[in-house]
Structures are given as structure tokens and as C-alpha cells.
Amino acid sequence: LHGRDPAVDAIDFNLAYRMFPLERWHALFQAGAGYARISDVGAGTDSEDDFTWKARAGAEYMATPDLMLALYADYRFVNLGSGTDSN
């Protein structure tokens, strides 16, 4: 949104799949959908409620039984505003 700094509060519900979960190294794939409330949207609107979704892929490493190191890449879509400023 041009010249605005909106705040986004979101809640997601996710499904995760760990490939080879009993190995020290394993891959993780995750997909989710959720709800977001966007504040300070502009044009006289204080807030908007909208749908969100995300995808995640990454790798996890079990360094010890109590320590896991992870590297993820996320893609998140949140619909901000309406019209040409909507994504």
C-alpha cells in the first residue's frame, strides 16, 4: 500500500510432512491456510479481514536428541487492501 505501513495479525492452520523423519537429516514440506486482520489499510478503512495461505520447504538436522537445526523457505500470501493494491 503506497505510503502506508499496515500491521498484519495472522493465524494459520498447517499440515506438515517430514520426509525420512527418523534420519538425522530430513526434508520438511508444509502447507497452510488461515485468517488475517490487516490494520491501517488506508482510504478511511481501519481494518480488513482476509484469507491467507502459505507454503514452506526446508531441511532439518537433529544435532542431538534435544536440539534440531532447521533452514526453511516460506512463501506467504496475504491480501492487503483491495483493487490494484491487493497483494
Q: Amino acid letter at 12? A: D
Q: What's the pLDDT at 50?
A: 82
> Which cell is 2 given?
503506497
The pTM is what? 0.67
Neighbours of 78 (CB within 10 A): 16
Quick check: 34 and 52 in contact, CB under 8 A? Answer: yes
- Digit-by-digit pLDDT tens for the chain (87 residues) are 455 667 778 888 999 999 988 889 999 999 999 998 877 655 555 777 888 899 999 999 999 989 999 999 999 887 765 554 554
